[in-house]
Amino acid sequence: MSPAVRFQNVSRRFGSVRAVDGVSLDIEPGEFFALLGPSGSGKTTCLRLIAGFEQPDEGHIEIFGETAEGLPPYRRNVNTVFQDYALFPHMTVGENVAYGLMIKGVAKSEREAKAKDALAMVKLGGYETRRTAQLSGGQRQRVALARALVNGPKVLLLDEPLGALDLKLREQMQEELRSLQTSLGITFVFVTHDQSEALSMANRVAIFNDGKIVQIGTPSDVYERPKSRFVADFVGSSNVLPPEFAASHGGMAAWTSLRPERIRIVPETAIVPSDYGHAKGVVTAVSYQGAATRITVATDKLPVVATIPAGTSLNKDDRVVLMWPKSAMVAMGDGA
């Protein structure tokens, strides 16, 4: 079976800027796929290339085996949930949701029934006659979702879908999107700059930097086995240890990622087991973060961050030993 979306060496330039630079990518049918990266890394342009708002300068794009380049958005069986929702202000909620069906020429009674079902699916049953201006941010998000899904797209694209929502609502929508995707079985591709959102929602994540994909993998792949300093730092802000430090502290002579939550802080007098690496240092900062506390320790070479469960008695200037299982040290590639 052909992949839902296939990029083969795709590039898109804006003037002299290569927004997307030689990207190759296969997204399998039914995947919940995240395009993750800092702003300006090319992830949104990739989404727009799938939607058809942009055309590639080089390379080849397929959607379910069909060539996509050259096709305008209205000839693609792909729908988008826009970052600011782009709901039409001159139509009611129901008319917004039924818009795609109206364009296809579906009879009024049928499209109204389908719009009603779609709204019920996103828990907005009974909102058909409301004006979009009367809705809250979370409700607009749901209408945008219903408006896209009612067309039965083969791929649903979501551009920073939860960016404008507050934390509580965002967590709730993450779960709902997840269960919606599972029950519908549609391929979801979503763009985000929020690594925790990508890790919690996606089956697989592509991490973008400077228009290129720097790593593709499952959330645990990219989190636990980052291939580069960029990924280690961008996904979950890891401690990136230079080769000489890693080699002298229980690892290999390579750039190494060490997750803060894998580090334990023990008194200077503690005995370190042989399968642990360790370093002595002085606490320079203690930052309370609710469930966890983030401790920065200056070792003789570099500062190392550890997160430990809340309720520590550590203070600034305490002399401590950091220790971590050697297996937590992940050697990375060239360090780019």
What residues make contact with another protein under the rule CB under 8 A? Answer: 51-53, 72-74, 78-80, 82, 84, 86, 88-90, 99-100, 102-104, 147-148, 151
State which residue, 102 or 169, has the beta carbon closest to another protein.
102
**Residue 153 φ/ψ, nearest 5 degrees:** -70, 155
Q: Which is nearer to another protein, 74 or 288 (CB)?
A: 74
Least distance to another protein from the beta carbon of 109, Å?
A: 19
Contacts of 252 (CB under 8 A, 6+ apart): 243, 246, 329, 331
Least Å distance, CB 97 to another protein, is: 10
Helix ranges (H only) for 54-166 are: 93-104, 108-121, 137-149
Q: Report the nearest approach of another protein to the CB of residue 303 (Å).
A: 39
Pair of tokens at residue 249: 């502290």
CA–CA separation, 272 and 323 (whole Å): 7
Alpha-carbon radius of gyration of the chain: 24
Distance CA 28, CA 49 (A): 17
Residue placing its CB nearer to another protein in the complex, 71 or 113:
71
Least distance in Å: CB of 153 to another protein? 9
User: Alpha helix (H) ranges present in the chain?
Assistant: 43-51, 93-104, 108-121, 137-149, 167-184, 195-201, 219-224, 229-234, 243-248
Asked if 50 and 189 touch (Cβ cutoff 8 Å), the reply is: yes
Amino acid letter for position 112: E
User: Closer CB to another protein, residue 90 or residue 168?
Assistant: 90
Q: In the complex with another protein, which residue's Cβ is closer, 35 or 78?
A: 78
Strand partners, 66: 63
* DSSP per position, 77-88: SEEEE-TT----
Whether the Cβ atoms of residue 35 and residue 206 lie closer than 8 Å to each other:
yes
CB of 53 to another protein, least distance (A): 5
Least CB distance to another protein at residue 125 (A): 21
101 vs 258, beta carbon nearer another protein: 101
d(CA 221, CA 235): 11
Nearer to another protein, 40 or 73 (CB): 73
Minimum distance between the CB of residue 220 and another protein, rounded to whole angstroms? 33
Is the CB of 11 or the CB of 79 nearer to another protein?
79
In the chain, the amino acid numbered 199 is: L
Q: What is the chain's length?
A: 336
In the complex, the smallest distance separating the C-beta of residue 88 from another protein, rounded to whole angstroms, is: 6
Rounded Cα–Cα distance for residues 183 and 130 (Å): 27
Residue that is written with structure tokens 């949930």 in the block = 81
